[in-house]
């Protein structure tokens, strides 16, 4: 409790890396939540606080599509419909990313795992290397809020920063505050595709949330409050999470 209060004394975005950084080999923190829950908005500061890379499966898949790789071509039709890309493709992509040097201590995973099979594959891979899921943070937002959030979402082409035309507008229209990159709207944020993405999430991903709850590593954060309030709640969630002794 003392630690939590101490952490909350830091201004938002200025967590205490000395106490919150992941310290062991292959520890991962998961950011779970529906499409539009606010994962991308919060991920950058959370990864910086934890001292690990932010690994977003959706961003990696979009990069593959842009580069025209075979994975990008295989993923395209699923993403355009708002369906999940097959587990085997996504698991290999994430395992490859976790094997990169900068992820040796661990990573903040955003948007993965999204199915029970992906969660099992992640657990197996971590167990083989003596790692584990340190905590799974569930950003909880009622489904009726998600469509409005996604319909007004604008993303930076260069750094993937996420904005909202009403709830979190950039200082000047169409331009990223952080890097001056061009902002765009994702084709799968159209209302018809969003409703399929939310249905897929309820069917395939909620069981993953329940799985981590049963394992005793789930931290629930109310995502239906201001961006600053969610940030404070996330800091509190990771500060309450005790590091595993070395």
Catalytic center residues: 39, 114, 153, 186, 197
Site for Zn ion contains 174 (CB under 5 A): no
Question: Which ranges constitute the DSSP H helices of 99-190?
Answer: 116-128, 143-151
Q: Which run of H or of E encompasses 163? A: strand 162-164
Q: Are 174 and 71 in contact (CB under 8 A)?
A: no
Task: By CB under 5 A, name the one of 99, 158, 224, 226 that touches Zn ion.
Answer: 158
Among positions 147, 181, 213, 227, the unique one binding Zn ion when judged by CB under 5 A = 181
Query: Among residues 89, 72, 109, 57, which one has the least CA distance to residue 217?
Result: 109
**Minimum distance, C-beta of residue 178 to Zn ion, in the bound complex (Å):** 5
- Least Å distance, CB 102 to ligand ADP, is 20
CA distance 54 to 186: 20
d(CA 211, CA 232) in angstroms, rounded, equals 25
**Rounded distance between C-alpha atoms, residue 188 and residue 185, angstroms:** 9
Q: How many CB atoms lie within 10 A of CB 60?
A: 20
Q: Judged by CB under 5 A, which of 25, 178, 190, 203 binds Zn ion?
A: 178
| Least spacing, CB of residue 180 vs Zn ion, in Å | 7
Determine contact, residues 135/219, Cβ cutoff 8 Å. yes
Which residue's Cβ has the minimum distance to ligand ADP?
58
| CB-nearer residue toward ligand ADP: 25 or 157 | 157
Q: Which residues bind ligand ADP (CB under 6 A)?
A: 33, 35-41, 57-58, 61, 78-79, 82-85, 90, 111-112, 114, 118, 149-150, 152-153, 162-164, 167-168, 188, 197, 226-227, 230
Q: Which residues bind Zn ion (CB under 5 A)?
A: 156, 158-159, 161, 176, 178-179, 181
């Amino acid at each position: 409790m003392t630690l939590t209060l101490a952490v909350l004394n830091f201004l938002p975005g200025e967590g205490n890396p000395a106490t919150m950084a992941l310290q062991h080999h292959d520890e991962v923190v998961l950011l779970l939540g529906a499409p539009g829950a606010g994962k991308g908005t919060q991920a950058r500061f959370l990864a910086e606080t934890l001292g690990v890379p932010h690994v977003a499966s959706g961003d990696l898949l979009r990069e593959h599509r842009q580069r025209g790789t075979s994975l990008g071509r295989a993923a395209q039709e699923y993403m355009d419909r708002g369906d999940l890309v097959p587990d085997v493709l996504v698991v290999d992509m994430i395992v490859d990313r976790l094997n990169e040097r900068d992820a040796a201590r661990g990573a903040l995973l955003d948007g993965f795992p999204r199915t029970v099979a992906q969660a099992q594959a992640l657990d197996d891979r971590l167990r083989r290397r003596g790692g584990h899921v340190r905590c799974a943070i569930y950003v909880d937002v009622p489904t009726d809020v998600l469509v409005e959030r996604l319909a007004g979402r604008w993303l930076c082409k260069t750094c993937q920063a996420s904005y909202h035309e009403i709830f979190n507008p950039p200082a000047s229209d169409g331009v990223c505050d952080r890097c001056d990159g061009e902002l765009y709207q994702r084709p799968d944020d159209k209302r018809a595709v969003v409703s399929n993405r939310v249905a897929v999430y309820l069917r395939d991903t909620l069981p993953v949330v329940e799985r981590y709850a049963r394992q005793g590593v789930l931290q629930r954060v109310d995502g239906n409050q201001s961006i600053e309030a969610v940030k404070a709640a996330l800091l509190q969630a990771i500060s309450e999470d005790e590091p595993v002794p070395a």
